A and B are shown apart, each in its own frame.
Chain A
């Protein structure tokens, strides 16, 4: 029974934890501009993150070492450094966006400017990392993030024509008035949102922190194969609400308030309350994950003592990196740069950095020296190879598409 509860909680956490500010913004923007014509990308992204997160979790459980630690050892310092620089920069932008996301959620609840909330939210993130147990932290924010299920209820209450929705999803086209390049740019952004690198770094380092062993491989599979797809359904619901309400009125999404608007119209104040809790929890949880991921990858690259569960006095450099990342992220959004733009750029750069994250995972998951008989099977390798090609194409296309479309304008 205890085991069942642990698995269920893990799955619920994965659902709530799947959606962050990038998913909120990207899915809402895409729904408002392209309807359901890019919904297929969410499906592709969810399968991709499932394939690689399962590998990363398995690598961590079998080797009892996190992925980034093994990347340096297996591929050498130079390849690991390239990975470190790219991932750290993407992590930094994502962290800034998530910190802004928490503040924006509080602004919607209070009408006090998000800029005034930034110092408090950053401090709160740091305090939670400092004081709250890993498992507690993961479950509180993952479960609270589940209140984003209001998007799914709102979508249903808006009364979509299911036949038309299914047709759009299964027969995607580039809508009239939108160019092919813009369509592809948003496809890459959505893909980047689903496969953000910090997710696997956090997932594998978290597995090590929670002392996973081969006995936990089923928990790993359940979390990944049930939790992430259900999280993907939340993403599609966000897309669906804006497709039904904003698209027909020609409204493009430029802020978090607009992301919530269709659900507010469908569900009223109660729906809004659920969304605000969900926004807060999803962005707070993701801020914790990105801040910790920054500490994880830098400490693991340099071979420093690391871990949220390790006392700060025993892992001072790890905790210093986490703190400095948070401060720098907060400073970036305090410059009053548009947080939605920061999110959009973080998604594109995330897509650019994907191969540096996912190629090493595929290599290590096939190395018998590390995996002790738990290397990838044929299906995992076939899917991993297919997704590696997709990741390479998305990465190569990200910057040219951003330039050609002026970041999707």
Chain B
């Protein structure tokens, strides 16, 4: 998520090219998808773990969805579409970070 945020920041400041940011954001999305897939493949041992799984999986799904939107905007050369999703990326990033802190 943080890589994507830096990429969006670079676009907002007109410091990068379309092809580069498109690849950068595409790879950020791939990584997030890979993390979600790995997480989902783990069998939760009890009901508490079920609740945690739902919470984390929900956040990861949102993350992958926003990253997908940003990647699509980048491929279309839609600068406003990329920068417009900056706040959503920041929000999900913060929630993931808070969750990480809470879980230790």
B-binding residues in A (CB < 8 A): 107-111, 245, 249-251, 254-255, 257-258, 260-261, 264-265, 267-269, 272, 276
Contact = CB atoms under 8 A, between A and B. Distances in A.
Given A249-B6, A265-B9, A254 B20 contact: no
Contact of B24 (A109, A257, A276): A257
Closest 7 CB pairs of A and B: A111-B19, A268-B15, A257-B24, A249-B2, A111-B22, A255-B27, A251-B2
Question: Counting chain A CB atoms within 10 Å of each CB, which of B13, B14, B15, B27 scores highest?
Answer: B15
A268 B19 contact: no
Contact of A269 (B3, B15, B27): B15
Interface residues of B, number: 21
Contacts of B2: 249-251
Interface of B: 2-3, 5-7, 9-10, 13-20, 22-24, 27, 31, 75
A365 B43 CA distance: 59
Nearest to A275: B20
Given A111-B75, A251-B3, A272-B17, A265 B23 contact: no
Given A257-B23, A264-B20, 20 more contacts: A107-B23, A108-B20, A109-B19, A109-B20, A110-B19, A111-B19, A111-B20, A111-B22, A250-B2, A254-B27, A257-B20, A257-B24, A260-B20, A261-B24, A265-B6, A265-B10, A265-B15, A268-B13, A272-B16, A272-B17
A245 B2 CA distance: 11
A267 B16 CA distance: 9
Given A269-B16, A272-B17, A111 B23 contact: yes
Nearest to B25: A257
Nearest to A110: B19
Contacts of A245: 6
A108 B6 contact: no
Contacts of A250: 2
Contacts of A251: 2-3, 6
Contact of A257 (B5, B9, B27, B75): B27
Given A249-B2, A264-B10, A258 B24 contact: yes
Contacts of B5: 249
Nearest to A255: B27
B82 to A, nearest CB: 14
Contacts of A257: 20, 23-24, 27
Contacts of B20: 108-109, 111, 257, 260, 264, 272, 276
Contacts of A265: 6, 9-10, 15
Contact of B6 (A255, A261, A267, A272): A261
Nearest to B20: A108
B98 to A, nearest CB: 14
Contacts of B18: 111
A231 to B, nearest CB: 25
20 contacts: A108-B20, A108-B23, A111-B19, A245-B6, A249-B2, A251-B2, A251-B6, A254-B27, A254-B31, A257-B24, A258-B24, A260-B20, A261-B10, A261-B24, A264-B10, A264-B20, A265-B15, A269-B14, A272-B17, A272-B20
A26 to B, nearest CB: 19
A142 B14 CA distance: 31
A269 B18 CA distance: 10
Contacts of B3: 251, 258, 261
A220 B7 CA distance: 43
A261 B23 CA distance: 12
Contacts of B19: 108-111
A254 B15 CA distance: 22
Contacts of A272: 16-17, 20
B64 to A, nearest CB: 16
A254 B6 CA distance: 15
A171 to B, nearest CB: 28
Contacts of A264: 10, 15-16, 20
Contacts of A258: 3, 24, 27
A134 to B, nearest CB: 33
Given A249-B2, A250-B2, A261-B7, A268 B27 contact: no
